Amino acid sequence: MAFLRRPGRLLICRPNPIQFGHLGMEMVMALARAREEGSAIAFLRQRPVVNEGPFDLESDEVEIRRLSAPAAAWWRLWWACGTHRGDLADRILDLRIAFWKQVGETARRLVSRPGLSPGAVDRLRRLKTAAREREPERRPRSTPYLKRRLIRTPVRVRFRRDVDQRLVRLAAEVGIARDRPVVTVHAREPGWKRGREVQDKPPSARQYMRDDSTRNADIETFVPAIDYLVERGFTVVRLGDPSMRAVVRPGVIDLALNPRRTPALDVYCLLQSRFLLAGESGPSVVTLLTNTPTLTINATDPVSSYPIRADWLFVPKAVIERATGRQLMLRQMATEQYLAAVRNTTQYEYVSNTPEEILEATVEMLAFLESPPPETDEQRCFRELLARLSIEMAPLHRYVRKWAAHEGFLGDGRVARFYADRYFG
């Protein structure tokens, strides 16, 4: 995420328009930065955008300005010029690295040829040394993408009055009453990202591949938890997209398949929700913007999923090591061996949480929100292990660095107590 700064203490932020989670994450980081600096902020909206709803939010803590069409066009042009300058600098650096690598490799190959004079051998050795010294170095960065400490304290937001009134009416029309408590749920399915699940490396480097299909889950495993919530007076609102399988149960509003659903209504439901029950997905990150307590289940990456806010819990999937058939304990998930191969399905099998585990986590979450108990030794130890390890791995592992502890801070949330008691190891 990058900013442009305009005279008059105004930050311009261009959030990710493609991925719902990154859109919300970058907007809340921008709001927190503006609050920290005492400046106003304007969001540069790109088209198309995955969800227009967050652009209609306002806050008493940060002045959110809206750019006119000419101003937005100007800033898009300015941003594009800056991006091209950065791309050109990166390409020049790539060429310099490739050139000196080739020089060094050629000198190394030639110096081993028989029949060369001592003078030629000496010159080639000096050329090889010079190439090694002149080759530019890509210094590994250690600053994470997710500025955890920056967004530790929520920035309070709400919809603009006119938008809120419209969404209240729309919510009532689909069966969501404002005076009834709401819990939102989301189970990631293949439809949204089908064919784009494998990331980072070509098929020839299978040992490094991350397969995001490991984040998927079956909504049927949520049913006992959903029924438990409905019995306690909650309206359960299922979020998602029209490619998902239908959920037909008493007390459940399947917003994903409702023809009247709008993207802004998803955000409205998160704002109204007592908490979100979801896996590693866009909505479970947008809750950082809407300040919705979150219970993340079926987590595959303990670092990226580690809860930032104190009213968050998470539960990992069962990770089975294919070579041995053993299930990794939490201690074994907090190791370099595992974090360097997260979601690598050639090394690990990911088994979703059982319906009983999801129900147990839901019961714990409701009790946790009413009266948080002290952190147990296992919960604290797991948090400290992950924080320390993510900092150590950040300079060398790009994906770990992206989500690592920020200024030593990983999060105020916890792994669910029942899970830590059972699987800490």
Which CATH code fits 158-423?
Answer: 3.40.50.2000
pLDDT tens profile 361-406: 999 999 999 999 999 999 999 999 999 999 999 998 989 999 999 9
pLDDT tens profile 144-199: 999 999 999 999 999 999 999 999 999 999 999 988 999 999 999 986 555 555 55
Give me the pLDDT at residue 249, please: 95
Give me the pLDDT at residue 110, please: 83
- Own/partner contacts of 159-168, CB < 8 Å, gap of 24 or more, are 159/56, 159/57, 159/58, 159/264, 159/267, 159/268, 159/271, 160/56, 160/57, 160/58, 163/56, 163/264, 164/268, 167/264, 167/265, 167/268
Between CA 224 and CA 6 the distance in angstroms is 52
pLDDT tens profile 27-68: 999 999 999 999 999 999 888 999 999 999 999 999 999 988
Give me the pLDDT at residue 208, please: 54
Rounded percentage of the chain residues whose pLDDT exceeds 90? 71
Residues of the chain with CATH 3.40.50.2000: 158-423
Between CA 267 and CA 159 the distance in angstroms is 9
Q: Which position has the token pair 């360097």?
A: 340
pLDDT at 359 > cutoff 50: yes
- Could you tell me the two tokens for 276? 């979100």
CB atoms within 10 A of CB 377: 10
φ, ψ at 122 (rounded to 5°): -65, -45
Confidence class for position 209, pLDDT limits 50, 70, 90: confident
Between CA 114 and CA 123 the distance in angstroms is 15
